[in-house]
Structure 1
Amino acid sequence: MAPRTVTHSRPVSVPASDGRRTWLITAMIVAFMVINFADKSVLGLAAVPIMAELGLSNSTYGLISSSFSFLFSVSGLLVGFLSTRISSRVLLFVMTVAWAVAQLPVLVVASVPTLMAGRILLGAAEGPAASMSMHALYKWFPPERRALPSALQIGGAALGTLIAAPLVTWLIDGFGWRSAYAVLAVVSACWALLWWRVGHDGPYDEKHTANGSNALRLPYRRILLTGTVLGSIASAFGAAWALSLSHAWLPAYLRTQLDMSAAASATAISVISGLGLVLLLAVSPFVDALKSRGVSSRWSSGAAQSTAVCVAGCAMAAFPFVDAPGPRLALIALAFGGTAIAVPLHYMTTAEVVPPAQRGAVFGVVAGIGTLPGLVAPFLTGHLIDTAATPSAGYTTAFLVAGGVMLMAGTAALTAIRPERDRRHLGLDTGPHS
């Protein structure tokens, strides 16, 4: 068997990006993430009227919610590898067109099969969304300037829920839950048309930073088995467990267990998303400040994401046992909003140990495995609620399980993420990395 080799390309000049176009693309990608998370949130926000109209059990609703993830991880993996051959412009356009189409089945016939069909298609189209939009964004910024745009990109996710909660709830209350699906279909289609006109790959694309087949490449197995990539996947896994519960069950929990009105529930969800957005905007200067003082990536971006997942896990396990409304809501906000900073940081730590030409594929793998909780957590929660002595006891068990998973994931990430060590082991250069 021929030995594996790493071929280093000669340095090439990277064309300077146009500032206006760079920030236009950034704004488009933030909007992309806003729509992405609005689409994800609509089923959870409409859970109570949908369950009432169709007579669904908690387990059936949980299965419908989990169906979103049936193809989510697989499509994330496949599209990640396709990104080495297909432009980000085409990939993001096709995704958003599919988002629009996925909202249509329930407008024709509202039933369990059409709800599941729409969620499966939406999940397949959104599986690569976060990783591929981050990959597209990185093509417009050099490595030393990626912290802020990374935070803004993921900030779009928090902003999507923050905006979607009141607006979608208003649509549902005023015009019926189907109206929310129709509006989101139109918004997705409009973004796709605008992106086709203005979206282009940037000057820091791998074709500019390396010479085609001579690009620096490593065996994928070596990259994926580094502690940094495995730790980043663990961080993503813990954050995704909380995120999947937030989309699927948090609105129903607030309304049925805490006796909140639809408007009050939407406000609470917006506040939680606002906390996530604040944390995301704060993490960029925080990480940059630590690195400017010589703090390693292990302790700046690595420890920050790991600690966030652990702290949120503790809050998740604690809030069901707190009766005082104020402290309980604060813990709920921390449990579901505190993991927000883990998302951009696990991409940043992964990128530090991946050659640019392979970044999209590895991002796809990290996202595909890291988001697997979406396949398990919603259905498991519904099953626990249906089989417990009371719905309240079922929710408590589900949140304890979630807290335990998040604590284990955060601890694993803290132990494993060591970008500087792994770059040396992989034989990557010691200068600024992509």
Structure 2
Amino acid sequence: MITAKIKNYRWYILVLLFVATTINYLDRQIIGLLKPILEAEFDWSETDFAYIVMAFTAAYAIGLLFFGWFVDKVGTKKGYSIIVGIWSLAGMLHAVARGAWGFGIARLGLGLGEAGNFPAGVKAVSEWFPKKEKALATGIFNSGTSVGVVVALLLVPWILSHYGWHEVFLITGALGFIWMIFWHFMYSVPAKNKWITDEERELIRTGQEEGEVQEKVSIKWLKLFSFPQTWAFVVGKAFIDPIFWFFLFWLPAYFSSTFNLDLTKPSLELMIIYTSTTVGSIGGGYLSSLLIKRGWPTLKARKTVLLVFALCEISIILVQFASNMWMVVALISLAVAIHQAWATNVFTIASDLFPTQAVSSIVGIGGMAGAVGGILFPMLVGTLLDYYEGLGNITAGYNILFTVCGFTYLITFAIIHLLTRNPKRVKLEDIVSQ
């Protein structure tokens, strides 16, 4: 049987990664959009909501560490299918929760499954794209994080207007199972894929790092912690991921409390903010890829754009001086776009510094560090906002948080720079079990 070949098939694979990430963040964002409704029905405080967020991030941390290793062990195709199945089922189980404890348990399952998305996605990009395209490809699939939020802003109010909050979780949770059908039939590594042309297979092979192979190997997992390259990625995730989760989970509530935004209706303000992250994600990947195509050393290109984005992120502190809502929308839109541009390049650093066979593990380790930060930061957020809400000025609490966010990127860049002064790529033979 002759199978028709498809030109540029790697971009079809990228569409699958983008859609998976979109569904991932759609499922994740729902709790933030339903927060006012669920708070009223179950009488939650800000601290109660913080604990629910912490349940997600705790499971996310564990899941990242486990699924990073798991995907490297069983392969991208099988690993990704299991991951999406777990988070989709957990998303649907939110519909039967009956209080903070029930939602906390459902969030544990969701966090555990969703943790595998980026280790598997970055590994798939590493398998399917030459190094000059990796940042752009990572930026495109990473932009699914913002598209998922925008889809949630449109879809959740529509489902609420026709059904109720239970159906929101059931309908959105089912989308992952549909995605799994396409993944099963379309994905395999380039060396074994029946749809890819010989020309594209050769382009991918010659465009990857010297000596890199597609076969699965056994990695000395603990050995990864001995490299400063690992810790550079860990720092890039640990300090910055909690900031995006703050933007993700608390921005709807911020606009609701500060500007009386009605979250039961589609919000143009929030759609603008989260759409801007798509521009940042793709633009950040394109910028460093462009510098590499012009002859810049790979890591120098990544670190240069990280520095530029870190300096630009300081602008978020101006939110407290903005005189109207649309000025706030503009400033936060810039901030979240810069964050996604940063995140894209940090993700790509993992595949720049490590062979494909270890990428999922590295992303999992770094992602776990980000999730641990995501456990601790909501404690600060919830406590701070409850305190200022008691004083009748919750906006002051948000202003303090925006200031902390603004300077964290520059501090993080300085640490990454110190850890990667010797920008050598870790060799496969140094981490493979014999």
Query: Could you state the TM-score of these two structures normalised by the residue count of structure 1?
Result: 0.84
Percent of matched pairs sharing the same residue: 16
- Unpaired runs of at least 5, structure 1: 1-16, 430-434
**CA distance in 2: counterparts of 1:218 and 1:389, whole angstroms:** 45
Structure 1 residues 209 and 258: alpha-carbon distance in aligned structure 2, compared to 1, 3 A threshold: same
Query: Deviation above 4 Å: which 4+ runs of structure 1?
Result: 204-208, 210-218, 389-392, 418-421, 425-429
Bigger drift between 182-191 and 205-214 goes to 205-214
- Alignment check: 8 A CA contact 2:54 2:375 kept: yes
Structure-1 residue corresponding to 2:381: 381
Q: Deviations over 1:49-92 (max 9, x none)?
A: 01011111111112112211112112111211222221111111
Shift in Å at residue 342 of structure 1? 1.4
**Counterpart of 2:286 in structure 1: which amino acid?**
P
Deviations 1:276-313 (A, max 9, x none): 1112222333222222333344442223234424533x
Equivalence for 1:324: 324
Aligned equivalent of 2:225: 221
1:187–1:427 CA distance, 2 compared to 1 (3 A): closer
Deviations 1:303-334 (A, max 9, x none): 3234424533x233331332233322211222
Q: Secondary structure of the residue that 1:352 maps to in structure 2?
A: helix
Q: Which residue of 1 aligns with 2:83?
A: 95
Report the equivalent of 1:233: 234
Are the equivalent residues in 2 in contact too, given 1:236–1:367 (CA < 8 A)?
Answer: yes
Report if the CA contact (8 A) 2:85-2:176 is conserved: yes
- Alignment partner for residue 38 of structure 1, among 23, 26, 42? 26
Q: Answer whether contact 1:241 1:377 (CA < 8 A) is retained.
A: yes
Q: Could you list the per-position Cα deviations for residues 69-117 of structure 1 after superposition, in whole angstroms to 9, with x for gaps in the alignment? A: 1121121112112222211111111111112211233323432121111
Letter in 2 for 1:357: Q
Where do 1:10-159 residues align within 5 Å?
A: 19-159=7-147
Give the counterpart letter for 2:346 in structure 1.
Answer: H
> 2:16, 2:245 → 1: CA distance?
25
Asked if 1:253 is matched to 2:254, the reply is yes
Q: Measure how far apart 1:272 and its partner are.
A: 1.1
Q: Structure 1 residues 427, 41: CA separation in 2 closer, same or farther (over 3 Å shift)? A: closer
- Please give the alpha-carbon distance, in whole angstroms, between the structure 2 residues aligned to 1:191 and 1:242: 29
Once the two structures are TM-superposed, the CA of residue 34 in structure 1 deviates from its matched residue by: 0.3
Aligned residue type for 1:75: G
Letter in 2 for 1:319: V
Corresponding residue pairs, total: 409
1:289 is aligned to 2:277: no
Contact 2:355–2:427, Cα closer than 8 Å, also in 1? no
Q: What is the TM-score normalised by the length of structure 2?
A: 0.84
Question: For the residues of structure 1 that align with 2:304 and 2:154, how far apart are their CA atoms?
Answer: 34
What is the Cα deviation at residue 425 of structure 1? 8.3
Partner residue of 1:279?
280
5+ unaligned residues in a row in structure 2: which ranges?
A: 192-204, 430-434
Q: Is the 8 A contact 2:235 2:366 kept in 1?
A: no
Q: Which residue identity is paired with 1:371?
A: A
